[in-house]
Amino acid sequence: MTAMTSPPPALAQATQAFLSSDHGLLIGGARQTGQAGSTFETFDPATGQVIARVAEGRAEDVDLAVKAARKAFEGGWAGTMPIEREKLMWRLAELIEAHGDTLAELETLNNGMPLFLSKFSVSSAADMLRYMAGWASKMAGETLNPSTPGEWHAFTLREPVGVVGAIIPWNAPLNMAVWKLAPALATGCTIILKPAEQTPLTALFLGQLVQEAGFPEGVVNIITGFGETAGAALAQHPDVDKIAFTGSTGTGKKIAQYATGNMKRVSLELGGKSPMIVFPDAPLEKAIPGLTMGAFVNSGQVCAAGTRLFVHASIFDQVMESVAAQASKFKLGHGLDPQTTLGPLVSRQQHDRVADFVRSGLADGCAAYMGASSPDSAGYFYEPTLLVNTARDMRVVREEIFGPVLCATPFEDEDLSAIAQLANDTEYGLAASIWTQNISIAHKLSKMIKAGSVGVNTHILNDAVMPFGGFKQSGWGREKGREVLDLYTQIKSVAVSL
Helices 201-213 and 173-187, packing angle to 10 deg: 30
**Least distance (Å) from ligand ADP to the CB of residue 220?**
17
154, 183 Cβ separation under 8 angstroms:
no
Using CB under 6 A as the binding rule, whether residue 45 contacts ligand ADP is answered as: no
The contact pattern for ligand ADP, residues 349-388, with x = CB under 6 A and - = no contact, is ----------------------------------------
CA angle 328/330/334 to nearest 5° reads 140
By C-beta, is 11 or 355 nearer to ligand ADP? 355
Q: Which is nearer to ligand ADP, 349 or 421 (CB)?
A: 349
On whether the CB atoms of residues 426 and 270 are closer than 8 A, the answer is no
Q: Per CB under 6 A, which of residues 214..253 are in contact with ligand ADP?
A: 226-228, 231-232, 235, 247-248, 251
Is there a contact between 362 and 386 (Cβ–Cβ < 8 Å)?
A: no
Least spacing, CB of residue 418 vs ligand ADP, in Å? 34
479 is an interface residue for ligand ADP by CB under 6 A? no
Give how many residues touch ligand ADP by CB under 6 A.
17
Q: How far is the CB of 243 from ligand ADP (least distance, A)?
A: 9
Q: Which is nearer to ligand ADP, 232 or 336 (CB)?
A: 232
Compute φ and ψ for 477, nearest 5 degrees.
95, 170
Nearer to ligand ADP, 255 or 432 (CB): 255
Q: Report the alpha-carbon distance of residue 210 to residue 177 in Å, rounded.
A: 12
Are 234 and 62 in contact by the 8 Å Cβ rule? The answer is yes
Catalytic residue, from 107, 269, 400, 479: name it.
269
Residue 418 exposed, middle or buried by CB count within 10 Å (0-12, 13-18, 19+): exposed
Task: Please tell me which residue in 105, 107, 197, 303 is annotated as part of the active site.
Answer: 303
**Nearest one of 445, 464, 48 to 277, comparing CA atoms:** 445
Cβ nearer to ligand ADP, comparing 131 with 382: 382
Beta carbon of residue 469, minimum distance to ligand ADP (angstroms, whole number): 16
| Nearer residue to ligand ADP within complex by CB, 176 or 282 | 176
Question: Cβ of residue 167: shortest distance to ligand ADP, in angstroms?
Answer: 5
**Smallest separation (angstroms) from ligand ADP to the CB of 442:** 33
How far CA 65 is from CA of 12, 159, 222, 260, in Å, comes to: 32, 22, 8, 21
Which of 70, 130, 158, 254 lies at the binding interface for ligand ADP (CB under 6 A)? Answer: 254
Q: Judge whether 357 and 403 are in contact, CB under 8 Å.
A: yes
The Cα 192–Cα 239 span in angstroms is 12
Residue 255 Cβ vs ligand ADP, minimum distance, rounded to whole Å: 6
Contact set for ligand ADP, span 119-178 (CB under 6 A) = 167-169
Cβ proximity to ligand ADP: between 11 and 305 the closer is: 305
- Please confirm, yes or no, whether 197 is among the known catalytic residues: no
Which range binds ligand ADP by CB under 6 A, 193-201, 211-219, 438-446, 449-457?
Answer: 193-201
Rounded CA-CA distance 151/462 in Å is 47
CB atoms within 10 A of CB 482: 12
Least Å distance, CB 256 to ligand ADP, is: 11
Cα–Cα distance, 27 to 339 (Å, whole number)? 39
Of the candidates 291, 315, 233, the one whose C-alpha atom is nearest the C-alpha of residue 57 is 233
Distance, in Å, from the CA atom of 62 to the CA atom of 407, rounded to the nearest integer, reads 41
Q: Which is nearer to ligand ADP, 34 or 82 (CB)?
A: 34
CA distance 115 to 372: 25
Concerning whether 269 is annotated as a catalytic residue, the answer is: yes
From CA 297, how far away is CA 309, in angstroms rounded?
15
Tell me the closest approach of the beta carbon of residue 422 to ligand ADP, in angstroms.
27
User: Taking CB under 6 A as the criterion, which residues in 196-215 touch ligand ADP?
Assistant: 196-197
- For residues 200 and 294, which CB has a smaller minimum distance to ligand ADP in the complex? 200
Q: Which residues contact 248 (CB under 8 A, 6 or more apart)?
A: 169, 270, 271, 400
CA atoms within 13 A on the CB side of 363: 7
Tell me: does residue 194 bind ligand ADP (CB under 6 A).
yes
d(CA 198, CA 210): 22
Q: How many Å is the Cα radius of gyration of the chain? A: 23
Q: Which sequence positions are flagged as catalytic? A: 269, 303
The site for ligand ADP (CB under 6 A) is made up of: 167-169, 194, 196-197, 226-228, 231-232, 235, 247-248, 251, 254-255
